[in-house]
Amino acid sequence: MEALELLDIIQRGESSKVQFKERLPHTDSLAHELIAFSNSDGGKIIIGVNDKTGELNGVSFDEIQAANQKLVNAASQSVFPAIIISSEVINVSDHNLMIVTVSEGLSKPYKDRLGTIYVKNGSDKRRVTSNDEIARLLQSSKNMFADEIPVNGTTSADVNLNYFNSFINRRYGRSLDELGISLPKALENLSLLKEGSLTLAGVLLFSENRHIIKPLFSIQCVAVDDVNLNGNTFKDNEPAFEGKIDEVYLKAFGFINRNIKKIQTGTSFNSLIAWEIPQEVFEETLVNSLIHRDYFVQSTIKVFMFSDRIEIVSPGKLPNSLTIENISNGISIARNPVLQSLAQYILPYKGLGTGIGRAIAAYPEISFINDVDSEQFKVIIPRPVNR
């Protein structure tokens, strides 16, 4: 890093990825900073800068040597699992500043010696106490996937056997009997049953009681004659849909069909009627929301049909390092690998990260918001003007 680049970073102040320290704190406090960066998106600790004023107070040679030893000890003996950090010294305006770089961890969650977990919260840090948030940290390090977790209180008896057999026929061209395999064994082989309980994927895909077992893992729809939800302008609304994931998809699609404007594609009496926005946009975005949403977040997918736009809001920000540009270009990361692998036999899902690209191709006006703070991913579909 060049001195001018470092000075520019300092002048912009602390953030979720930059922390100032005039001198290194106690080893335990230092470990908490390293843990917070490792459990979040990584970052830099700049030593020799006052965190209140931004004034430079460079470190001496002896202080640099002592700081390096302290950092090594904290990273290897006070952070669990241990992490690897890097450091460099840069002279800025005759002040030696030490830059410590902490990468985002691959083995989240990282803890201190007492088992406490920290994450970044703006320029500060906070403790993590929620089981759901701990699970999301495990998910981000690919140590846990929500759709593979067993759901307590469920068994293979919760599976709609006729529907599952139909799925088996579509995938393998033969029934369970013809394959000579029992229902529990088939479910286990597909990661739909673990230790006698259905996994979340098993519940979502094949249980008629999904809405009782996991009522929030559905879609809610609202249509209003306004540009927001203020007032009593609801013209149509539905509570969270019941049924398996394919039924939820069809009911949400039906709601949109009921409330979207229809236009004639030609001038003759027998001209075909089309939606104001291509149907393919909703096929792709609804399926993507069901397959790729964050199932560690206890919330429904929302479909808001406003007078000027339609929004599809999915629980959970984009996973790991994915960006809107990435997904628009077909790059994907499997958040729910079991759902993703089986969806093509149940939903109009083609996979390969192409869904968002097809939606954009069908309707270029579509846009996306990755709301990190609110843990939401939003699809914004403007309605055509004067239709």
Residues in the chain, overall count: 387
Q: Are residues 225 and 366 in the same domain?
A: yes
Q: Are residues 108 and 199 in the same domain?
A: no
Q: How far, in Å, CA of 352 to CA of 325, rounded?
A: 16
Q: Are residues 207 and 224 in the same domain?
A: no
Tell whether 137 is covered by a domain.
no
Q: Are residues 197 and 315 in the same domain?
A: no
Tell whether 136 is covered by a domain.
no
Q: How far, in Å, CA of 124 to CA of 110, rounded?
A: 17
Structural domains counted in the chain? 3
Q: Are residues 72 and 183 in the same domain?
A: no
Q: Are residues 209 and 224 in the same domain?
A: no
b (16+ CB within 10 A) / e for 247-286: ebbebbbebbeebbeeeeeeeeeeeeeeeebeebbbbbbb
Which domain does 19 fall in, by range? Answer: 3-131
> How far, CA to CA in Å, does 15 sit from each of 5, 41, 43, 314?
16, 12, 9, 27
DSSP 230-246: -SS-EEEEE-SPPSSHH
Q: Are residues 74 and 168 in the same domain?
A: no
Tell whether 272 is covered by a domain.
yes
Tell whether 191 is covered by a domain.
yes
Among residues 170, 187, 213, the one where a domain terminates is: 213
Among residues 213, 245, 270, the one where a domain terminates is: 213
Q: Are residues 38 and 59 in the same domain?
A: yes
State residue 329's pLDDT score.
Answer: 82
- Smallest Cα–Cα separation from 73: which of 18, 30, 20, 119? 30
Tell whether 15 is covered by a domain.
yes
Tell whether 105 is covered by a domain.
yes
Q: Are residues 230 and 345 in the same domain?
A: yes
State residue 159's pLDDT score.
Answer: 96
Q: Are residues 53 and 71 in the same domain?
A: yes
Backbone angles phi, psi at 353, to 5 degrees: 70, 20
State residue 386's pLDDT score.
Answer: 56
Q: Are residues 223 and 308 in the same domain?
A: yes
Mean pLDDT by 10 residues, the chain (387 residues): 88 93 92 94 94 92 92 91 92 93 88 92 89 78 82 95 94 91 94 95 96 96 90 83 96 96 74 88 94 92 96 90 82 85 89 80 94 91 81
State residue 349's pLDDT score.
Answer: 85
331, 253 Cβ separation under 8 angstroms: no
Tell whether 51 is covered by a domain.
yes
Tell whether 387 is covered by a domain.
no
pTM for this predicted structure: 0.70
Among residues 158, 185, 213, the one where a domain terminates is: 213
CATH number of residue 42's parent domain: 3.30.950.30
Q: Are residues 223 and 297 in the same domain?
A: yes
CATH number of residue 256's parent domain: 3.30.565.60
